[in-house]
């Protein structure tokens, strides 16, 4: 419209949706691409900045495609689309691009579909906004292995968290028992207050220490004799 192209104006003057008009992807890209500025063209620098970005982008895409072929498809991995977006961004950064255009990330899915066709499935596995990329050649056996690994990891995490909860609860119980203890020492302290027999170890603390020191629920006989 800004270019006042008579062909486009003729189309745009009608109802676009009613006319079932759509842009061919590459044509639209070529049409809307900014023209080379006259200063750059005149000084003979060659490619414009836009073309340079396009070249780097296509190079980064090739790196991404190589990764998908060598890792995702070969190892039958399920990955998030956001992970691939981040990987593409890192490739672009490594190639020297400072600012990544929004369109690069936005068109990733379309480019992947154009490259791999039915080889990749884009599924919303968790019924959330995140999209997963599933290799079409994923075998049921591999899916079973994948699920089993995740379940085992979950179980490990659950047992780890329950262990932490037990330790936390034991510490809380001992702390509360100590804080409940009354200070019966007279002022100034008498010799009897400072005798060995005056020290009453709390039941909770005694149980904790005997397990900590010996690994057993009861004191071994030789230690029991020493404790009197």
Partner 1 sequence: MKSFAQDLMFGVSRGKIKPPKQILLPSAVKTLTNNDELIQKLNRCVHGIAYSQLEEINTALCLQKMASTSEIPLADNIQPHVSTTLAWDNIDRLEETLSGEGTSHRVNGIAVQTRHFGPQLPPEPSTHIVKTKERSV
Where do contacts with partner 1 occur on this chain (CB under 8 A)?
Answer: 174-175, 178-179, 181, 183, 185, 187-196, 198-199, 201-202, 205-206, 209-210, 213, 223, 227
Closest CA to 61 of 122, 123, 124, 105: 105
Helix (H, G, I), strand (E, B) or coil at 71: helix
Q: Which is nearer to partner 1, 104 or 210 (CB)?
A: 210
Question: Minimum distance from CB of 215 to partner 1 (Å)?
Answer: 14
Cα–Cα–Cα angle for 18, 30, 7, rounded to 5 degrees? 45
Q: Which is nearer to partner 1, 24 or 180 (CB)?
A: 180
Handedness of CA 150, 155, 156, 162 (dihedral sign): positive
Question: Minimum distance from CB of 190 to partner 1 (Å)?
Answer: 6
Q: Which is nearer to partner 1, 102 or 195 (CB)?
A: 195
Closest CA to 59 of 16, 86, 93, 95: 95
CB 64 within 8 A of CB 87: yes
Question: Minimum distance from CB of 163 to partner 1 (Å)?
Answer: 21
Rg of the Cα atoms in the chain = 35
Q: Which is nearer to partner 1, 6 or 183 (CB)?
A: 183
Question: Minimum distance from CB of 184 to partner 1 (Å)?
Answer: 9
Q: Which is nearer to partner 1, 42 or 183 (CB)?
A: 183
Question: Minimum distance from CB of 210 to partner 1 (Å)?
Answer: 8
**Whole-angstrom distance, CA of residue 141 vs CA of residue 147:** 10
């Amino acid at each position: 419209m800004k270019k006042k192209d008579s062909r486009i104006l003729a189309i745009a003057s009608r109802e676009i949706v009613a006319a079932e008009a759509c842009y061919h992807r590459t044509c639209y890209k070529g049409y809307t691409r900014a023209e080379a500025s006259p200063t750059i063209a005149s000084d003979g620098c060659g490619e414009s900045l836009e073309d340079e970005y396009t070249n780097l982008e296509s190079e980064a895409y090739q790196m991404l495609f190589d990764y998908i072929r060598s890792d995702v498809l070969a190892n039958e991995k399920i990955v998030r689309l956001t992970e691939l977006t981040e990987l593409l961004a890192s490739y672009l950064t490594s190639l020297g691009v400072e600012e990544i255009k929004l369109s690069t990330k936005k068109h990733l899915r379309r480019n992947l579909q154009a490259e791999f066709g039915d080889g990749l499935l884009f599924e919303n596995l968790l019924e959330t906004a995140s999209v997963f990329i599933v290799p079409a050649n994923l075998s049921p056996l591999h899916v079973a292995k994948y699920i089993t690994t995740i379940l085992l990891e979950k179980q490990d995490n659950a047992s780890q968290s329950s262990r932490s909860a037990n330790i936390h609860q034991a510490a809380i119980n001992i702390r509360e028992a100590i804080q409940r203890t009354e200070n019966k020492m007279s002022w100034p302290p008498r010799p009897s207050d400072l005798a060995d027999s005056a020290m009453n170890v709390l039941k909770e603390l005694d149980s904790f220490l005997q397990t900590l020191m010996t690994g057993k629920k009861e004191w071994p006989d030789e230690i029991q004799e020493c404790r009197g």
